[in-house]
């Protein structure tokens, strides 16, 4: 069975979370009925928590369809969604806007209360993010939201929300052996304030796998958005040669444990301080057996040291959480999509 993380209020969720971004497009065609069947398999395997967002096209509705198709299993499921207003709407957000989007998520999912809403703000140069967070808090007190999280906040702006009194309990961040930006202050802040980290990108869109071991560096054309995104992280980390050295180290450790590279990479992040869960991006249940084995996997101090001997040679990525992605003129920011919510329409 998959182990669980428990929040101070008693709310618990599986430490492996089924991600939803890969079901939203840009990763190949999705068969809705197969997606619902895969959700059933994940829940039966103990991965009872799903991650989605208001801007992941169709994913909240897919989870709602799963809930209707499998009402008994649905009672075991936790759904973590997001509130991500469009960049162009940030200056005009009012209470009606916030409630409209939250009501839309409730309707799509077919629930009376959202277990967790993770708040994202594209541009901190635009004010009102604290006021907007208080609108989410108002809806939490009204019973529409169970608890509030954030996603992709940096240290000073999360500190600002906390100092204002927003009861943030979880923070979703990109965190992997290639991307250690949360270790530059965010882990420490979250430890001090009792906030758990929900980590995405732990296998870097599939780059941390046997598929790329001893392979030549790919060209400019990559198969999906995840590979485009995480190839930039590999470049920042130190380039293809250092990445291959890390893959070789992980492969040696994986062989010792009779598992795969992705499992070692995920376990390494699950073992980091303040990490509550890792989000596994899956378009199918093909790797479900490997996912289930991660829970029992334990890395020795020597194996951890071998990994750290390679990652210590990193060049980046530089800065605070999501800082590179917020620079809309840079390579990370240029691939983002900022207008996916359409104002709650």
Is pTM beyond 0.85? Reply is: yes
4-344 folds as TIM Barrel (3.20.20)
By DSSP bridging, strand 168-174 and strand 78-83 are unpaired
Is 274:197 a contact under the CB 8 Å cutoff? yes
Phi and psi, residue 112, nearest 5°: -95, -20
Q: Three-state DSSP class for 255?
A: helix
Q: In the predicted model, what is the mean pLDDT of residues 307-324?
A: 98
Q: Is residue 344 pLDDT above 60, yes or no?
A: no
CA distances from 111 to 139, 143, 240 (A): 14, 11, 45
**Residue 345: predicted pLDDT:** 45
Residue 85 tokens, joined: 């207003």
Q: How far apart are CA 157 and CA 162, in angstroms?
A: 9
Between the two ends of the chain, the Cα-to-Cα distance in Å is: 40
Write the DSSP assignment of 120-152 as a string of letters: --S-TTS--HHHHHHHHHHHHHTTSBS-EEEES
Q: What is the DSSP letter of 117?
A: E
Q: Report the percentage of the chain scoring pLDDT > 90.
A: 88
Q: In the predicted model, what is the mean pLDDT of residues 286-295?
A: 90
2 bridge partner residues = none
Q: How far apart are CA 295 and CA 277, in angstroms?
A: 11
Q: Is residue 232 pLDDT above 90, yes or no?
A: yes
Q: In the predicted model, what is the mean pLDDT of residues 138-149?
A: 98
Summarised one tens digit per residue, pLDDT across range 28-64 is 677 889 999 999 999 999 999 999 999 977 899 999 9
**Long-range Cβ pairs for the range 257-260 (8 Å, 24+):** 257/297, 259/290, 259/293, 259/294, 259/297, 260/209, 260/210, 260/290
């Amino acid at each position: 069975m998959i182990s669980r993380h428990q929040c101070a209020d008693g709310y618990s969720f599986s430490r492996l979370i089924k991600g939803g971004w890969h079901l939203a497009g840009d990763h190949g065609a999705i068969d809705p009925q197969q997606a619902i069947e895969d959700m059933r398999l994940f829940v039966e395997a103990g991965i009872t928590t799903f991650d989605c967002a208001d801007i992941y096209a169709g994913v909240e509705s897919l989870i709602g369809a799963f809930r209707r198709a499998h009402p008994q299993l649905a009672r075991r499921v936790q759904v973590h969604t997001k509130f991500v207003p469009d960049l162009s709407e940030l200056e005009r957000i009012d209470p009606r806007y916030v409630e409209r989007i939250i009501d839309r998520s409730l309707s799509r999912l077919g629930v009376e209360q959202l277990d967790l809403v993770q708040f994202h703000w594209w541009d901190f140069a635009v004010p009102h993010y604290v006021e907007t967070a208080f609108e989410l808090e108002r809806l939490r007190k009204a019973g529409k939201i169970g608890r509030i999280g954030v996603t992709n906040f940096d240290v000073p702006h999360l500190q600002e929300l906390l100092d204002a009194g927003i009861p943030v309990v979880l923070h979703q961040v990109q965190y992997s052996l290639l991307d250690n930006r949360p270790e530059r202050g965010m882990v420490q802040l979250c430890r001090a304030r009792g906030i758990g980290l929900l980590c995405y990108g732990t296998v870097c869109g599939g780059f941390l796998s046997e598929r790329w071991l001893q392979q030549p560096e790919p060209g400019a054309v990559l198969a999906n958005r995840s590979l485009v995104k995480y190839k930039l992280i590999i470049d920042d980390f130190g380039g293809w040669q250092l990445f291959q050295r890390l893959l070789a180290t992980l492969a040696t450790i994986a062989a010792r444990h009779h598992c795969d590279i992705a499992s070692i990479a995920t376990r390494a992040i699950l073992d980091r301080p303040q990490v509550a869960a890792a989000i596994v991006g899956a378009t199918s249940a093909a790797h479900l057996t490997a996912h289930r084995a991660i829970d029992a996997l334990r890395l020795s101090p020597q194996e951890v040291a071998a990994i750290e001997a390679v990652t210590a040679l990193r060049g980046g990525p530089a800065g605070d959480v999501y800082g590179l992605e917020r620079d809309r003129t840079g390579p990370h920011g240029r691939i983002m999509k900022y207008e996916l919510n359409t104002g709650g329409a």
